[in-house]
Structure 1
Amino acid sequence: MAKKRIAIDMDGVMADLTQHYCDWYFERTGERVTKEQLNGVPETTGFPQEGIVHHFLHTPGFFRTAPVMEGSQRVILDLMERYEVFIVSAAVEFPQSLAEKIDWLKEHFPFISWKNIVFCGLKTIVNADFMIDDYDKNLRYFEGERLLFTAPHNVHYEDYNRYDTWEDVAKFFAAQPEPAVPHIA
């Protein structure tokens, strides 16, 4: 029997882009903004100098230097024992990010094969049993089980089961039934 499939978003789920925005903003302006200050505002907004953070997304090196979301490496490695795992990122929105994201994955998630990395525009093409994402626009049309990974821009979403940490994700999957093993006669 085939393993069930999990589609996992990169930005805001595996890579802590919110912390990265805050760090880059501080390094460039000297003004400190915390993640908590960004709760409930659209991603890349809420900083005193509006527009500067959106500019970071087009800056070489931004995606390559993002910090890893705490616990993601261990949990994803564990999930790969029971599930078919695909990393699904809407990377084509920022073309310079493609190579940076591949290099980032090679460094921080070397156990994920290039065959399991999907860069796309819209995630409506994704066919999996589970999707872990931080955006409604990606989860809304997904037909499998939707896991919303908490980020400041989604704190007001109420339509999904919410997971604040990778430990929460691990607990969800630990509670899933083991896939049936076909009987061999």
Structure 2
Amino acid sequence: MDQKAKRKLTILVDMDDTIEQLLKAWLKCLNEKYGRDVKCEEVVDWDITKVYPGLTREQVYGEINLPGFWGKVEPVPGAVEALKHFLDSGHKVYIVTATPYQSVPEKMDDLLFKYFPYLSWENVIITSSKQLVHGDVLIDDGVHNLENGNFEKILITAPYNKDYDAEANGMTRVSNWKEIVSEVDKLAGL
């Protein structure tokens, strides 16, 4: 049974490649469609189009707007249990995502609410300006979302941020959800 936290936190959590494996599913679809063999480790820049020379931005980004795409995306190992742990410990959890409006219904129904049934629309904030959202901690893989925010910053390591100096920029770097839970529990006094 989870302990109640000494300090109740408002935990902000990114969605793409933080709680779910967008990149893995996206590359699989693009590779199958265009006969490529791009691997997640090769995506060392936030702009995924750089690993698909010859494809237009519309071809690359259009894939995630196709019907049925979000049903192919799976959770990051440990994320489902971690968010449940945070809620059971008395914290507030909000998914903060910059999802384009046309993808929102399918992404939430076929992915978020399917794998995280204890979350609802009351737990979802859609914005590309995450620094404006008030919370105690933000967990994200995008350094641009963490920079200049007025919250504790937890950066999930990804090929496109591995060379970023998280510590020098006031962030805690983690590699998995076990490490994230440990960091959040420390912040909460557990």
CA-CA distance at 1:178 after TM superposition: 2.8
2:74 aligned with 1:67, yes or no? yes
1:162 corresponds, among 162, 170, 173, to 173
1:132 is paired with a residue of what secondary structure? Answer: strand
- 8 Å CA contact 1:21–1:44 kept in 2: the answer is no
2:154 aligned with 1:143, yes or no? no
Q: Which amino acid aligns with 1:146?
A: K
2:96 is paired with a residue of what secondary structure? Answer: strand
Indicate the residue corresponding to 1:120 in structure 2: 127
Q: What's the TM-score, normalizing by structure 2? A: 0.83
How many angstroms apart in 1 are the aligned matches of 2:163 and 2:66?
A: 29
Q: What's the TM-score, normalizing by structure 1? A: 0.85
CA-CA distance at 1:177 after TM superposition: 4.4
CA-CA distance at 1:2 after TM superposition: 7.4
CA-CA distance at 1:49 after TM superposition: 4.0
How many angstroms apart in 2 are the aligned matches of 1:10 and 1:19?
A: 14
After superposition, the CA RMSD in angstroms is 2.0
CA displacement, residues 26-66 of structure 1 (integer Å, 9 cap, x when unaligned): 2212321111122x223323134443322223333333432
Where do 5+ consecutive residues of structure 2 fail to align? Answer: 1-5
Aligned residues with identical type, % of pairs:
28
CA displacement, residues 48-85 of structure 1 (integer Å, 9 cap, x when unaligned): 44433222233333334322111110111111122111
1:102 corresponds, among 105, 108, 112, to 108
Indicate the residue corresponding to 2:62 in structure 1: 55
Indicate the residue corresponding to 2:184 in structure 1: 173
Indicate the residue corresponding to 1:37 in structure 2: 42
The alignment of Structure 1 onto Structure 2 pairs a total of residues equal to 176
How many angstroms apart in 2 are the aligned matches of 1:58 and 1:22?
A: 14
2:8 corresponds, among 3, 17, 21, to 3
Where do 5+ consecutive residues of structure 1 fail to align? Answer: 180-185
How many angstroms apart in 1 are the aligned matches of 2:8 and 2:182?
A: 19
CA-CA distance at 1:115 after TM superposition: 1.1
How many angstroms apart in 2 are the aligned matches of 1:56 and 1:139?
A: 27
